[in-house]
């Protein structure tokens, strides 16, 4: 007989630390004694096995659909009530994924690698001779945007608009969203108008880009309608910028503590794929996600009533000793264990842009390691508040030996 989750005697997590390391350590300690904990609005699971099982179980639905409710926002101007690929489930999600997946293969991402290298070198050329930079403003923030523009076929000069929209639209997932509704609505409205304009242009003049391939995407006579196209283009702009730029910031901060690994990467660029997997495992920019029970669910001897909110703590699962040998060791030569890190999620909502992001990160890390072979943090690194959904450094001043 399953125990009702609300009756379990489990640890309570009701803290928010400014410091992400402190927060992870505290949660990792709790994970040693319990597979589940209670927080003010939800439950949290920590172990790889349970995070994966919940993310793969289709009865748990993506809480992106509930984000306005969770954040206490009842302003009708906020557009998150409309279904997105992230918030859709069942047949609706399967159909969307089937139509768009062919545009997001590793091969499609590889085609952009020469362009990625060009963007990386264009960003680094002006700063390298001085031997110092502010990595976030000079590199991480601008880097993913021209790539998303190129992928979509949007004009390069629009990258600043994309950058602001992506960050502001994603504020809906932050703990402070209720105070930022005007900013979120403004970004959503501008992005919506822009996307509709871009799609109209491609309908009249097809090109070799993602929008054209999404317009053409067809399976057994089925196609994306106009609203679905708008939603998908927005998912790429919003999902594809703030994530990659913050992940790179986290990864470089990690390498700053491991100069031997940085030197190894510069010497052995063939390690780039493993370096990306290991940095994302050890220090992922997305540290958790959320699901709610769409029906009563029995799992691991516990009954979760319909509506129960649960947080799979991806960052803790990524250091689960049952899944990763010596999990607190950062090692870019680590052999793949058959259990991939969870920073791209798991199950049906597994990151659609994973191949693109992997390629972007691999190209960036290798070129940075080769052009800034010895670097050190030179001043204070400031971090986003630990309440943000996508975590990373805000400022990271560096000095390095120019090469």
**Footprint on this chain of ligand HEM (rule: CB under 6 A):** 62, 85-86, 97, 235-236, 239-240, 243-244, 247, 285-286, 289, 343-345, 349, 351-353, 356-357
Q: How far is the CB of 205 from ligand HEM (least distance, A)?
A: 23
Q: How far is CA 246 from the centre of its chain?
A: 8
Q: How far is the CB of 396 from ligand HEM (least distance, A)?
A: 17
Cα–Cα dist 167/89, whole Å: 25
Q: List CB contacts of 167: < 8 A, sequence separation 6 or more.
A: 241, 242
Q: How far is CA 363 from the centre of its chain?
A: 18
Q: How far is the CB of 403 from ligand HEM (least distance, A)?
A: 26
Which residue number, 283 or 400, has a Cβ lying nearer to ligand HEM? Answer: 283
Cα–Cα dist 291/47, whole Å: 16
Q: How far is the CB of 271 from ligand HEM (least distance, A)?
A: 18
Which residue number, 353 or 393, has a Cβ lying nearer to ligand HEM? Answer: 353
Which residue number, 124 or 238, has a Cβ lying nearer to ligand HEM? Answer: 238
Which residue number, 62 or 367, has a Cβ lying nearer to ligand HEM? Answer: 62
Q: How far is the CB of 280 from ligand HEM (least distance, A)?
A: 7
Q: How far is the CB of 368 from ligand HEM (least distance, A)?
A: 16
For residue 348, the tally of other CB atoms under 10 A from its CB is 15
Cα–Cα dist 375/31, whole Å: 35
Residue of 348, 343, 359 lying closest to 391 (CA atoms): 343
Q: How far is the CB of 244 from ligand HEM (least distance, A)?
A: 4
Q: How far is the CB of 393 from ligand HEM (least distance, A)?
A: 14
Which residue number, 212 or 247, has a Cβ lying nearer to ligand HEM? Answer: 247
For residue 9, the tally of other CB atoms under 10 A from its CB is 7
Task: Decide: residue 361, CB within 10 A, 0-12 exposed, 13-18 middle, 19+ buried.
Answer: buried
Cα–Cα dist 118/198, whole Å: 25
Which residue number, 191 or 356, has a Cβ lying nearer to ligand HEM? Answer: 356
Beta-strand relationship, 397-400 and 218-219: unpaired
Query: What's the sign of the alpha-carbon dihedral 387, 391, 394, 399?
Result: positive
For residue 220, the tally of other CB atoms under 10 A from its CB is 5
Which residue number, 185 or 356, has a Cβ lying nearer to ligand HEM? Answer: 356
Which H or E run includes 400?
strand 397-400
Query: What's the sign of the alpha-carbon dihedral 185, 170, 66, 387?
Result: negative
Residue nearest to ligand HEM (CB): 353
For residue 337, the tally of other CB atoms under 10 A from its CB is 12
Which residue number, 232 or 303, has a Cβ lying nearer to ligand HEM? Answer: 232
Q: How far is the CB of 126 from ligand HEM (least distance, A)?
A: 25
Which residue number, 142 or 400, has a Cβ lying nearer to ligand HEM? Answer: 142
Cα–Cα dist 133/122, whole Å: 14
């Amino acid at each position: 007989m399953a125990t009702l989750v609300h009756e379990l005697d489990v640890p309570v997590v009701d803290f928010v630390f400014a410091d992400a390391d402190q927060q992870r350590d505290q949660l990792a300690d709790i994970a040693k004694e319990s597979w589940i904990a209670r927080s003010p609005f939800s439950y949290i699971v920590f172990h790889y096995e349970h995070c994966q099982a919940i993310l793969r179980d289709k009865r748990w639905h993506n809480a992106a659909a509930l984000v306005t409710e969770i954040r206490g926002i009842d302003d009708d101007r906020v557009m998150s009530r409309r279904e997105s690929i992230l918030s859709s489930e069942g047949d609706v999600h399967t159909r969307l994924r089937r139509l768009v997946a062919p545009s997001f293969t590793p091969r499609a991402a590889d085609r952009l690698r020469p362009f990625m290298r060009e963007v990386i070198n264009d960003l680094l050329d002006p700063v390298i001779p001085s031997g110092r930079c502010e990595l976030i403003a000079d590199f991480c923030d601008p880097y993913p945007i021209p790539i998303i523009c190129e992928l979509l076929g949007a004009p390069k000069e629009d990258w600043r608009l994309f950058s602001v929209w992506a960050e502001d639209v994603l504020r809906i997932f932050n703990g402070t969203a209720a105070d930022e509704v005007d900013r979120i609505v403004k970004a959503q409205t501008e992005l919506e108008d822009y996307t509709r304009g871009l799609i109209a242009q491609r309908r009249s003049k097809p090109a070799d880009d993602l929008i054209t391939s999404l317009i053409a995407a067809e399976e057994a006579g089925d196609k994306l309608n106009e609203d679905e196209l708008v939603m998908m283009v927005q998912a790429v702009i919003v999902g594809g910028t703030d994530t990659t730029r913050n992940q790179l910031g986290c990864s470089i901060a990690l390498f700053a503590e491991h100069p031997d690994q940085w030197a190894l990467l510069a010497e052995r660029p063939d390690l780039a794929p493993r370096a990306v997997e290991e940095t994302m495992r050890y220090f992922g920019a997305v540290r958790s996600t959320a699901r709610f029970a769409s029906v009563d669910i029995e799992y691991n001897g516990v009954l979760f009533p319909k509506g129960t909110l649960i947080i799979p703590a991806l960052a803790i699962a990524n250091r689960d000793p049952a899944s990763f040998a010596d999990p607190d060791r950062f090692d870019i030569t680590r052999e793949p264990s058959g259990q991939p890190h969870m920073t791209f999620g798991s199950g049906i909502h597994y990151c659609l842009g994973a191949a693109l992001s992997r390629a972007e990160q691999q190209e960036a890390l290798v070129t940075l390691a080769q052009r800034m072979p010895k670097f050190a943090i030179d001043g204070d690194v400031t971090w986003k508040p630990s309440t943000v959904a996508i975590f990373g450094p805000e400022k990271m001043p560096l000095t390095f030996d120019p090469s």
